[in-house]
Structure 1
């Protein structure tokens, strides 16, 4: 079987409709949108383009299913998630290829995302049966305190295009484990993986209406009425900070529970005593994973002046050796950016930095031809006023600036409105602990360039968001706490 035939057969398996109340249906008026391969610019599939009325029908279905799903025994909810995990692992290659076709990431990274996304199913299948409360005598001795947890209720998820499986499972799994029904709106650029995942949930026994999927090219028009509906009780969004602000304003009208995983501007600090081999390895992971299109991507490389030259030389050598191409090709380390708009914005930041004195050590320009490719880039001597150090890059560009003292490093690292993740490389354990306390981020990698793990609470502070996904904390985003007092007779 040829590669083209394999891709065609895989795409044919993916439903093209909306999933509402357990049925695959056409969008109102039969409207459709197209999904393209960013490596070629070719259309890979045409799918339903939902209207606001379709979105409300999906919410109707979630509301109708809520009570029955909340009353489903936790063990049954957990077993369904476990079956989903097992089935996903058995189909890893299919899901990896589908992600590569619609998003562009290399197949090896897509396989890694299947593993990562699957872990949320396994983790929360285990957490479903561990929802607890407490019971005890009040201090006055006049009554018994009973604290219990109950599902928040119907939830609405807006997921991004850069991790189309993991961002779906990271939200859907804890919601289902807690007993909440959901409506999910995947990004119009990469909806196919989410659709395929919901087909998998249907196959392993998901009751009708518990998960509903609406794909649309008009996100705000569809989302607005859903968020404004008083029956909705939870909103979870992963995406940019400006969009998150707008959604929070809308959610405030209904006093919705919200989880917001927003933008990042991650500092990557390399001290003079760092193991440079480990730091370079960490830089490759923290910067170039997912072609740099990740909120956790290292954005600002803050390197001690005594080792900056050697660090720059080593990373430039590694980056210059990357094979760029379609993610399905053997050995490709850098795939395309999601679209031409992303290429233009990445180049704009690079040219701004160069115009302010940065040196191009490797790359530094778009790659001509089919697809939306940008050359993996390393810039040295990036000035403090470069936009590259202030704005989220979302591309394969590594910019280096220097520092002299620990206080300088902390000041530079914290000089941002964002606070999602930071990375620190030092062999001084005491300094590492100081950085944990001093860096204003919700997560930190100490001598590692990869922090994401289903068993850990993922999220940021400041304008990088509110709430946590994953870990013990993740399921509590979908639970309300209820206190009952029982008088002592």
Structure 2
């Protein structure tokens, strides 16, 4: 059997029988080796496996009421590096009892925290932001170790993650009320905004830091306290944030973290059905979002859901092809395709189809696959084998229906790596056009007219993000308005930033985060003053 490094070098540019290329190119031998030797796993208690400049950022316990705690049962969850299968450490397998303690701690901390001044919360969030900048290298390395993304991607995530604390520090001091004209003489209507209370935050593994800060920054700025359930696949970034919250001066009980894997359903139910928790915010798949929505309905609590996407990426004949290819590389393959706003369905008009497809394939063939901490690596593994199997299923389905493999198309045996892939001639009934892949697979379908591609783009139950490229100003406005999504990238494939209202429509969720998302964590209260004698 050939070695894994050999497979990496020889498999990337391989095509399946019958595949054709629109332009000749040769993929260079550009891969690094990936160790899967489980015998080399480090002991869970040895923080040296992380190689951080500040090892005290690494925590192997949950965080409740300002204290680092283990599970009452003594059970542990093993966390591994998806690139190497090396054990990084263990975290507590907590359950309902610990969740109730965390909720109670948040409840007890809420009265004092909610009465702090907006300026005080602003200053603490600024300090939190500065600490994330100060520990940028360590926090980025943590993300790569537990998530697998390339270090450059991880550094981008940490900067993005920290930006939410900076943004919401500014929002904290701009929580304005209003006076409303009264219909009755001698009365005044005043509207004030108050923090909603204890917030439950449930986050995914694909952005283990940023998906927390986007929610937590708004909650803290509003004056809320929080119970966070971080992802068991990538918990160390979250726990490092808890450590930095102590250094920033956030009081005990304001931030709590419950780690779980086996009891995730019971913990989720407790957070959703608790009468103490007044808001649930979640990022993840649409099926889980629907389950949480049903649970939260039992107490009619406020809820924000950022669920799955199936983003169209449209290239019209009049597009700037250089810009469109650059954007497709970022938009489709960032984080090895494991982002909710990734391009999932790529539609290219017939006049530029061959050129765009050929040039994208050349770019993808130049990617460097491997351990994200190694020099020059551009793309890492998928989070686990189940994710890899879904990508494989989508590729096989498309090929069986007539698609051609231009680059990649294969998994690396005995690993979580799937070679970044470009498919051409993808039929409209392929699974990838109806399901979110969440992997490094660019599937390209040809179209002829604007009306046709709008129908194709909107033919889905979800609507998170959409992208298109055209130099026609009239078309730009038409398409942007007709796409049934919450966010549109017109001539850009990168839309994520702290200042925007992030969220979708249809079954992609409810509410908005970032931007003015602080309102999701506040109640409006009317106070009508009478007897003023005016």
TM-score when normalising by structure 1: 0.97
Q: How does 1:168-317 map to 2 (within 5 A)?
A: 168-217=212-261, 218-317=263-362
Number of matched residues?
A: 484
Relative to structure 1, the CA distance from residue 127 to residue 77 in structure 2 (aligned partners, 3 Å threshold; closer, same or farther) is same
Aligned-pair CA distance for 1:88: 0.5
Task: Provide, for residues 343-392 of structure 1, a one-character-per-residue CA deviation record: whole Å limited to 9, x for no partner.
Answer: 111100110010000010110010124x3100000000111110011100
Counterpart residue number, 1:476: 519
Instruction: Kindly indicate whether residue 69 of structure 2 is the aligned counterpart of residue 25 of structure 1.
Output: yes
Greater C-alpha Rg? 2
User: How far apart are the structure 2 equivalents of 1:430 and 1:76?
Assistant: 48
Report the CA distance shift for 1:11/1:340 in structure 2 as closer, same or farther (over 3 A).
farther
For residues 333-372 of structure 1, the aligned pairs below 5 Å read 333-369=378-414, 371-372=415-416
Aligned pair in 2 of structure 1 residues 12, 483: CA closer, same or farther (>3 Å)?
A: closer
Residue 13 of structure 1 and its aligned partner are, at CA, apart by 4.0
SS in 2 for 1:233: strand
- Secondary structure, counterpart of 2:110 in structure 1: helix
> What are the equivalent positions in structure 2 for 1:35-434 lying under 5 Å apart?
35-217=79-261, 218-369=263-414, 371-434=415-478
Flag structure 2 segments of 5+ consecutive residues without an equivalent.
1-46
Q: CA deviation at 1:207?
A: 0.3
Q: How far has the Cα of 1:136 moved from its partner?
A: 3.7
TM-score by length of 2: 0.89
Once the two structures are TM-superposed, the CA of residue 460 in structure 1 deviates from its matched residue by 0.3
For residues 14-49 of structure 1, give each alpha carbon's deviation from its aligned partner in whole angstroms, at most 9, with x where no partner exists. 111111111111111221111100001111111111
In structure 2, distance between residues paired with 1:283 and 1:226: 38
User: Which secondary structure does the structure 2 equivalent of 1:366 belong to?
Assistant: coil
Unaligned stretches of 5+ in structure 1?
none
Q: In structure 2, what is the Cα distance between the partners aligned to 1:317 and 1:326?
A: 22
> C-alpha distance in 2, partners of 1:346/1:333?
19
Equivalent position SS for 2:269: helix
Q: Deviations over 1:55-85 (max 9, x none)?
A: 1100000000111110011111111000000
* Distance in structure 2 (CA, Å) of the matches to 1:141 and 1:416: 53
Q: RMSD over aligned Cα, in angstroms?
A: 1.2
Three-state SS of the structure 2 residue aligned to 1:268 is strand
Q: Note if contact 1:302-1:401 (Cα within 8 Å) is conserved in structure 2.
A: yes
Query: How many angstroms does 1:400 deviate by?
Result: 0.5
